Structure 1
Amino acid sequence: MAVVDYEVDGRIAWVTLNRPEVMNAINDELPVELAAAVARADADPGVHVIALSGRGPAFCAGYDLTYYAEGNGSGEVTQEMPWDPIKDYSFMWRNTQHFMSLWRAMKPVICKVHGAAVAGGSDIALCADLTVMAEEATIGYMPARVWGCPTTAMWVYRLGAERAKRMLFTGDKISGREAADMGLVLEAVPANRLDDRIEELAARMASVPINQLAMQKLVVNQAIEQTGMMQTQRLATIFDGITRHSPEGINFKTRAEAVGWKQAVRERDEGSWDWTSNEELPRRNR
């Protein structure tokens, strides 16, 4: 079964992440199929706009870390020591470039976020040209607390330095309303208006000739890329591997294998565990 669905309705290509049973968590296949769907839409002369969404209760819950973090994966993401940084970098750089197919597509991409777009799922959502969230949906990069660095680096390009630091120093999740107020996403709407709003925006853009859309996108993207986006993403991808194989990263993975991913994440996000000593923090230090 395809983990990314593709269909065309008029001038709009609808690309849908399709792992609803795990909140569209990222496995080995999803980035590859996502990039293939984007390329298909880009090559179709009848398609003017790409609309991206997720099936089920959420847009994307990030990497499928029940698989990767609990030790059942292929080893490319969570290797045994000694760690091979080039093997790690090659795997994550491929995924980053698959996500960036949304950015590089000639045609505009509008992303609909319901439920959650967190961790690696936020990387995908923020690579789109326009992102619209349900007001109560959530977005954040919680692995910034331990075991991750956002490889696309889109937080800084959308927010600027200080607000990006606020999000990545805390690993907090924020609501769609907060994200819109902060300028991270285009806008937030009530959940019962989200589908209609995406369709309205997509239809409005779809009435513009492809060449006009492509030129406007290229100009804006060039202004961002001129700042050294690719170099920043390469550094972020290297750091992502280091965070997962630092002493604290290894302790986090060991803890996840011992007590399960959900409990390890809860301890990470609550700030109740010292990943340096790999023991519970005294309550006064939390």
Structure 2
Amino acid sequence: MSCVTYDVNNRVARILLNRPSVLNAIDDEMPAALAAAVARADADPDVHVMILAGAGSAFCAGYDLKYYAEGNGSGDVTQPMPWDPIKDYRFMWTNTQHFMSLWRAMKPVICKVHGVAVAGGSDIALCADLTIMAEDAQIGYMPARVWGCPTTAMWVYRLGAERAKRMLFTGDKISGREAADMGLVLKAVPADDLDDEVEALAARMASVPINQLAMQKMVINQAIEATGMMETQRLATLFDGITRHSPEGLNFKTRAEDLGWKTAVRERDEGTFDWTENVPLPKRNR
């Protein structure tokens, strides 16, 4: 079964992240499959708009930590020391560019978020042109606490400096309602209304000629890219590799290997472990 599925109907291409048994967690194949589906839609003269969604109970839970942290996935995510930063950069920059295919596509992309869009899943969702969430869905980049830096840097471009710092200094998850109020996403609607809301917006946009849609997108994107987006993403991608090979990052991976990734993630997200000293935090410091 493909990790990304593709369908076209009424001028709308529907791209579906399709690993529902693991909340559509990202593995080695998904980024390239996503980019291929976007390229297919972008080249199809019958497609005006894309909708990106996730199968099952969530949009995307980020990188598959059972695959990458508890094990080692392809071997590119955490290398033996001394590590090769260019090998790491090449791997992560490729994934970043696959996610950014949503941004670079000439045609607009609407991302529909239910369940969670967290960690690397938030990177994907925030690369879309318009993101609509269920009010009870959650979005956040918890690896900002340890073992990650969002390589697309879309938090700052959507939120501005102070609100981006609020999210990335804490690694908190927020609801769709709060994300909309903050300006991170276009809007949040009751979960039962999410499909209808996204379909109505896509249908409205699909009535516009492709060349008009492309020109508006190109002008708006250029205004953002002129601020130095590419340079910011290169720095973020380098930093992402450093976070995974820092003493704290290596301690996190060892903890995941020894106790399982669910335990390591819980300790990270709850702030109950000192990753520098590699010991649980005293209760008074939590």
Q: TM-score category by the smaller chain?
A: over 0.9
Superposition pairs of residues 163-242 of structure 1, within 5 angstroms: 163-242=163-242
Structure 1 residues without counterparts, runs of 5 or longer: none
Aligned to 2:101: 101
Using the TM superposition, give the Cα deviation of residue 273 of structure 1 relative to its aligned residue in structure 2, in angstroms.
0.3
Instruction: Report the Cα offset of residue 10 of structure 1.
Output: 1.4
CA distance in 2, matches of 1:273, 1:149: 19
Residue of structure 2 in register with 1:135 after alignment: 135
1:158 aligns with 2:144: no
Amino acid at match of 1:251: N
* DSSP 3-state at the match of 1:69: helix
Instruction: State the distance in 2 between where 1:248 and 1:17 align.
Output: 31
**Which runs of 5 or more structure 2 residues have no equivalent in the other structure?**
none
CA distance in 1: counterparts of 2:8 and 2:101, whole angstroms = 18
The alpha carbon displacement at 1:184 in A equals 0.1
What secondary structure, in the 3-state scheme, does the structure 2 residue paired with 1:6 have? strand
Corresponding residue of 1:271: 271
Residue aligning to 1:7: 7
Q: Which residue of 2 aligns with 1:115?
A: 115
Q: Please, what TM-score do these two structures have when normalized by structure 1?
A: 0.99
Describe how 1:44-63 pairs up with structure 2 within 5 A: 44-63=44-63
SS at match of 1:60: coil
CA shift, 1:75, in A, is 1.1
Per-residue CA deviations over 1:237-285 (Å, capped at 9, x if unaligned) read: 0000000000110111111111000000000111100001100110001
8 A Cα contact 1:71 1:78, kept in partner = no
Structure 1 residue identity aligned to 2:91 = F
Deviations 1:113-171 (A, max 9, x none): 00000000000000000000000000000000000000000000000000000000000
Pick which of 81-90 and 111-120 moved more.
Answer: 81-90
Aligned length: 286
SS of 1:131's partner is: strand
**Contact 1:149-1:236 at 8 Å conserved across structures:** yes
Distance 2:199 2:276 in 1: 48
In the superposition, the TM-score normalised over structure 2's length comes to 0.99
Question: Are the counterparts in 1 of residues 13 and 50 from structure 2 also a CA contact under 8 Å?
Answer: yes
Equivalent residue of 1:167, what SS? Answer: helix
